[in-house]
Structures are given as C-alpha cells and as structure tokens.
Structure 1
Amino acid sequence: MSERKANRASFGTVRKLPSGRYQARYHEANGERVTAPTTFATKREALDHLAGVRADRMRGTYRDHRAGSAPFGPYAEEWIANGGSRGRLAPRTKVLYEDLLHRHLSSLATTPLNAVTPPLVRTWYAKTRKSLQASSAARGGSGETAVRQAYALLRSILATAVTDGLIPSNPCQIKGAGIASAPERPYMAPEVLSAIVERMPEQYSLPMRTMFGAHLRLGELVALQRGDYSDGLLRVERQVAIVRGVPTVTPTKTGEERVVALPGTLREMVEEHLASTTGFPKSPMFTRPDGGALTHGGIQQAWAKARKAAGHPQFHVHDVRHAGLTLAAQAGATTRELMARAGHRTTAAAMTYQHVAEERNALVAERMDALAGAALAPRKGHLEAVIRLELPL
C-alpha cells in the first residue's frame, strides 16, 4: 500500500490546508504547476486524483481542466468569425448567427464553457422558449423557429468546443430540440405552374420556366448572367442573397458550382431570348422592361398576385424548383443525378422528390391504362377463355 502511495505521490504533491482539506498539485510537460480544480476531504482522495490524471496522460485522454474556463461569449464570436464548424459561412448565415448570439444566447456570454451543463442548457431553453412564445404571440407567430435556430447554434458551437478539447461532452442533450419539422410542401403539377406563370407579367414568363427546368433557387435565378449559358448547359455558380436588407452576390447556398442540362424546349427558348437581346457575358440574363436586373421582391410580388388569380394560393415561389425536381424524378433521374441537378450536399433532400414520384406511381398507372386503349387490352381468344373459366359448371 505504501509503495502505491509513493508512486502516486511521485507524480505530484499533496498538502493539507489550514481548513483540514487536502490539495493536489502536479506539473505540466512545460514545467507549469497545475492545482486540481477542487480540494479533497482525505489524503487518499487527493492521491487518487493524481493517479487518475497520470493514467489519463498515459492513455492520451488527459484534458486540462483549466482549458474550458474561457467564457462562452468570446468563444462563440470567434467561432462565427472563423466560419463555424466548416470554416465557411454564407454572408446571410453569418448575419443570422450573430443576431441569434446577441439576442438569444447573451445570457450565457460570461459563463465559462465548462460551466455550461445540461441542466443549465435546459433552464436556458425553457426560459428562452417561453419568452419568444410570449413576444411572438402578438405578431401571430409561435417563436419556435427562433428558439430552434438558437439551440442549434448553441449545440454546434459546443460541439466544436468538445473537438477542441475544452469540454468533455456536449451539454446540449434535449431530444428533438434544434431539429426543423416543417411539413412537406404540396406537389405542384406542371399544368398548375403553367396556369400561374401565364398570369404573371410577360417579363417573368421565361425566367420562371428556367427556374422550373433548371431547378434554380430564387437567388440563383436572379443572379444568372448571359455568359452562364452555352450549348444547352446552364452553369449555376452564384446567387443574390439579401444580407441586412442589401442584395449581395455570393456563392451558391452550398458554395459549389453545378452545370444543369436544360430540357430541349427550354433550351430553344433561352437561345432565342439571348439571340433577340443584347448584352455582355456578365450582363443579367433576364431583365425588367427598364433594363434593370430582376429582383427577389419583384418576382415574389408578381407570383403572389398570379397564384391568387389562378386559384392556387397555397404555392410558394420555391415550389417551382420543387416541381421541376419532382418531374426529373418521375423522368427516371437517380438520387445522384437529382443531387447534381439541384446542388444538394446530401441524399436526404433528393429523396424527397423520389418519394413524391413514387406516390404518383398509381396515378401514372391509371392514366396509362386510360390512354393505352387496345395496347393493353387482352386478345379476344384469351378473354373468351377467361370467361369460360369463370362460368360455373
């Protein structure tokens, strides 16, 4: 027993304090002396602590308890400034994170990272959710989106703190919190899209059809340039995002470029449009009558009026992209092909469109039966044989 104590003590030192409790200390590799984060009731407990630190070092799992003493606020600000967990944030996302940090996570700003515990997170979440529900009720909202985004941001920041070795585990452990649960958008059939677009001003006719055929996000449509089209292929490499109320050209939502082959009919319309108009390769592909570039607001306002006039007020502008991708799935596009055309990072989003396409399989089969006529009708002799087999003897 004495040899065991000697081995543990040789790693560090233990001393009795005037209070009667024991303090354990040891040295870092650089010679710096470290004091244990707490005192101990007995000398044995202090020695056991030293033995645990020594064992963690030998296993390579040692974590300096002082590392997580930095306050959450400055760490979170640095996390955002450095581009989050991926090292890159879209301008609009960066603005959103800064707003969430200063409005909804400010109460944690001075709290040390290692003091952000699961109970503290649950308390913060409950108070924030209640506060947002109360403030949003007057505007007809629920506040759920804001609290979900704030929690998701907190969880991501603390996950990086775990990776950095500042805290042992992520204290954000509320099941279901931070996960979006928006209902699936309704399917917009091509004929419905056509009915809405026909009621929009002429200047939006081809742009909306391009949004459908090339599966563009609204910001990507607005950012198209004449030089982006060549030989039936449309290069999508930028978007116009609204950052603090100002239209700003940024990379696409995923930060990656993609090339989309246009359907034949749309290809002909785009080529005719480019041939009948003038401009430089970097000029906007689609413009207003006054020559200015299309805007988010202009398209959304025209869409809102047209969908109401067409009797389909439930559809959003973004549903145009969804409709095009669903049609691509119905045309036989694989998950990987849908991802390439849509610019998706994961298969989850692409599977949404295949899911809708599968649901329409029965309807497609019924329509085929109605249109096929004699092509699917049984031969006369076969039909007579079936009738004879079904007749009672």
Structure 2
Amino acid sequence: MSKQKANRQAFGSVRQLPSGRWQARYPDPAGRPMNAPTTFPTKREAQDHIAGVRADRMRGTYRDHRAGLQPFGPYAVEWVANGGTRGRLAAKTQALYEDLLTGPLAAFHDRPLSAISPADVRAWYARTRKTLANAVKNRPGATGEARLRQAYSLLHTILNAAVKDRLISENPCQIEGAGQVNDPERPYLSPEALADIVAALPEKWHLPVRVAFGAHLRLGELVALQRGDYANGSLRVERQHLYVRGKKVTTPTKTGEARTVVLPPSIAAEVEAYLSATTGFPRSPLFPRRDGEAITGNALSHAWRKAARGIGLGQFHVHDLRHAGLTLAAQAGGTTRELMARAGHRTARAALIYQHAAEERNAALAGAMDALTAAAVNRARPPRLEAVLHLEITTPESRATP
C-alpha cells in the first residue's frame, strides 16, 4: 500500500481545501502543474483520480479536460471552414452549414464544448422544434422538421469531431432517430407517365428532359452541360450549376468526380440532330435560353410542375427523372457497379435503391411474360411495347449485331 501511495505522490499531489474537499494536482503533458477538473470529497478519491490520469497517460488515452473549455461556436466555424469531416464541402453544403450555425445552432455558440450535456441537447431540440414550427405555420405543408433534422445532424457531426479531437469524452447528442431522414420513398415515375408529362411540356423542354432521363442527370448537371460534352453517343458530366445565396456558381459534380455516360442510341441520335441544326462553340451551353445563357433548373421545374399538374400527375417532381432512369437501367439488368458508374454514386448504397425498386416489379414482369407467352401459343400477334420517349435499352451484344 505504501508503495502505491509513493507512486501516486511522485506523479502528483493532493491537499485538503478550507471547504473540507480534496484537490488533486499533477503535471500537464507539457510538464506544467495543473488542477483536476473537480474537487473530491475524500483524499482517497483524489489519489485515485491521479492514478487514473497517470494510467491514461501511459496508455495514450489521456484527455486534457481544459481542451473542452473552448466554445462550440469558434470550433464549429473552423470545422466548416476546413471542409468538415472529409476536408471538402460543396459550396451549397457549406452555405447551409453556415446558415445553421448562425440560426438554430446559435444557442450553443458561446457554450464550452465540455459543458454541452445530453440534457442541454434535448432541451434545445424541443425548444427549436417549436420555434421552427411557428416560423412556417403560415406555409401550407411546411413543418420545420427538415430544418430541425439538418441542425441536429450538423450538431451531432461537429461534436463527433470534438470527440475524435479528444476535446470531449463522448457525444452529448443522444436523441434516437433525431438526425435520420424519414422522407417517404418517391413514387416510381413509369415510362408511360413520363411520356404523358413530356407530351404536355412545351417542345423546347422535350430534349433536355429526355437527356436528363437517359443519362440519369441531377438537375444542376443537366443545366451545366456544354456542347463539347457530347461525343460519339456519350456525355461527359463534370460540372453542375448551383445557386448559393441567390448567386449562380459552377462547381464539380456532387461527388467531385467526372463521369462519362453512354446515352440510349435513340436519344443520342436526337442530340446529334439537335447539334447539327444549331450553332455554338464547344463551351457554349448545350441547352441555352434566347439570351445565350444556360437554361435554369428553376425554369424547367416550373414548366414540369405546370405540365404534370395539368394532366393529373402532380405527384411527380422533375427530380424523379433521375430515379426513373436508373430504375429502368436496373430493370434492364444493370449491376450495382454499372449503376454507380452511370449515376456518379460514391457508394453502393444509393445504387441498391434502384435495384430494390426493380425487384419490386418482379410480379408485374412475370405477368407480362405470361401474357406474351399466351399470345404466342394462340398464334396471335404479341402486344408490342411502344418505344416510350424513343428510348431503347441495348446491350453490347445487340449493338454488335449487324
């Protein structure tokens, strides 16, 4: 016992305060004397704390409690400025994070990182939910829940970074499911429904919509296409147009990586005919307005909403084009890796969504096969599937056939 006490005293010391509580002192990593973060009711507990600090130093797991005294706000601002978890944030994402830090998360700005407790987070969450709901109460269908989810998710991510930086011991964001997306899955936009919407659109939007569908483009990628991006039946997708705080900016794609997408042959033929009938430089917008500037996503979205609602298909959004095209590619036999390449996905998780949607159509496809078989047995002419949007799904083998 005496040897254990000697070792503790060699590393640090304890003393009793006028209040009767005990204070523990020991050198910090730089060798300067420092006090424990709290006092202790007994001498033994103070000595045990010193022994624990020494053991953590030897294991390399020591965390200096003083590091967590820095305020959340400056730490969060620096985290965003340095590109977040991956070291790079898209311009639109960075703007969103900055807005959240000065908005819903402003309540934590001056709080020391180590002073944010799970109870504090729960109280903030309940209070912010009411505030955001009141702010949108006059907007039909708005609840403020998406904004709350974004704020909580950002808070959770930043405090996770503080844990990894050894500034705090654990993440106080412990509300189950608070940062998860619970949006219902978008309805499947069938080729037939898409054909009806395209027919209701003004003609100038027909080809952009077909290209977005056939190449699985995000809206920002579609409007950023240039004439030189098309070559030999393929599109080179390497940029997107976004609006950040009302100003248009051009950035790399969402993943930061360019990709080449082979268009369905019929759509490629339409693009070639369009390029032959129009003029422009390689870096000119592929789909320009009358003033020569590129079309905007807002203009296409407005035209789409008007056309879709006019024919009773208002449940579909222009963003469903990408989902519909990838689902059709999955139904045509696209593997996860092939879908990732065409869509520009970084992980397999997103691509699996479209394969799941394709699997759900197994019964419908089986029924269609049965109908075609019955028609052949009865020597009747099988029903012919019309080429919706002139889209053709081909395989390398079929393209090689003379």
Q: Which has the larger radius of gyration?
A: 1
The CA distance in 2 between the partners of 1:235 and 1:169, in whole Å, is 45
Deviation of 1:376 after TM superposition, in Å, equals 5.7
Alignment of 1:233-252 (within 5 A): 233-252=234-253
Q: Distance in 2 between matches of 1:217 and 1:315?
A: 15
Number of the residue aligned with 1:270: 271
SS at match of 1:165: coil
List structure 1 segments (4+ residues) > 4 angstroms apart after TM superposition: 374-378
Contact 1:369 1:376 (C-alpha < 8 Å) held by counterparts: no
Secondary structure in 2 aligned to 1:248?
Answer: strand
1:360 alignment counterpart: 361
| Count of matched residue pairs | 378
1:376 and 1:123 map into 2 onto residues whose CA distance is 69
Partner of 1:101: 101
> 1:29-75, CA deviations, whole angstroms, 9 ceiling, x for partnerless residues?
42211111111222211111110101111111111111111000111
Tell me, in whole angstroms, the C-alpha distance in 2 between the residues paired with 1:302 and 1:365: 36
> In structure 1, the residue corresponding to 2:200 is in which secondary structure?
coil
Q: Deviation at 1:348?
A: 2.2
Residue 231 of structure 2 aligns with which residue? 230
Aligned partners of 2:38 and 2:358: how far apart in 1?
Answer: 61
Percent of aligned pairs with the same residue? Answer: 62
Within 5 A, what are the aligned runs for 1:49-198?
49-140=49-140, 141-198=142-199
Which amino acid in the other structure matches residue 195 of structure 1?
D
Residue type of the partner of 1:193? Answer: L
Length-normalised TM-score, structure 2: 0.91
In the aligned structure 2, how far is the partner of 1:286 from the partner of 1:106?
42
Q: Which amino acid in the other structure matches residue 94 of structure 1?
A: Q
Aligned residue for 1:312, secondary structure, equals: coil
- The change in CA–CA distance for 1:134 and 1:29 in structure 2 (over 3 A counts) is closer
Q: CA deviation at 1:377?
A: 7.1
Which residues in structure 2 correspond to 1:282-301 (within 5 Å)? 282-301=283-302
Moved more, 130-139 or 75-84: 130-139
Alignment RMSD (CA, Å): 1.5
Distance 1:29 1:179, change over 3 A: closer
| CA shift for structure 1 position 18 | 2.5
Does the CA contact (< 8 Å) of 1:104 and 1:128 recur in 2? yes
Letter in 1 for 2:79: W
- Shift of residue 375 of structure 1? 4.3
Aligned counterpart, 2:309 = 308
Query: Is 2:206 the counterpart of 1:205?
Result: yes
Structure 2 residue matching 1:265: 3-state secondary structure: helix
More off after superposition, 271-280 vs 110-119? 271-280
Question: In the aligned structure 1, how far is the partner of 2:172 from the partner of 2:337?
Answer: 36
Runs of 5+ consecutive residues of structure 1 not aligned to the other structure: 379-393
Question: 1:203–1:287: 8 Å Cα contact kept in structure 2?
Answer: no
Q: Which amino acid aligns with 2:341?
A: A
Partner of 1:386: none
Q: Deviations over 1:259-297 (max 9, x none)?
A: 111111111111111222211111101123443321112
* Residue number in structure 1 paired with 2:349: 348
Which residue in 1 is equivalent to 2:6?
A: 6
